[in-house]
Amino acid sequence: MAPEMMNKRAHSHKIDTWALGVLLYELVHGVEPFPGKSPGQINYAHKQMKISFKKGCSNEFKDLVLKLLQYNPDNRIELVKVFEHPWVRHF
């Protein structure tokens, strides 16, 4: 769940951008990027933004995921720009 939803703040289509970042991370790593046993722990992990990538992940993949998983929704990459990102264009 995007941070703005967890914090019960107004949200927009940017929650979908967040969800895409989580999905891409999970597809490559097999686990969620922000582990926690409670909503509070997960929210804390969101704020810390300490995302670890397994060895072998390209810099382009890391860049895209980090641009999607910005805590502040205003800082997230626009969904339309995802299609222009080098990691996506590679495919």
pLDDT band at 45 (very low <50, low <70, confident <90, very high): low
Structural domain boundaries, residue 7: 3-89
Q: How far apart are CA 11 and CA 24, in angstroms?
A: 21
pTM of the model: 0.85
Tell the burial category of 16 from Cβ atoms under 10 Å away from its Cβ (0-12, 13-18, 19+).
middle
9-22 confidence digits (pLDDT tens)? 777 888 999 999 99
Number of domains in the chain: 1
Task: Tell me the CATH number at 71.
Answer: 1.10.510.10
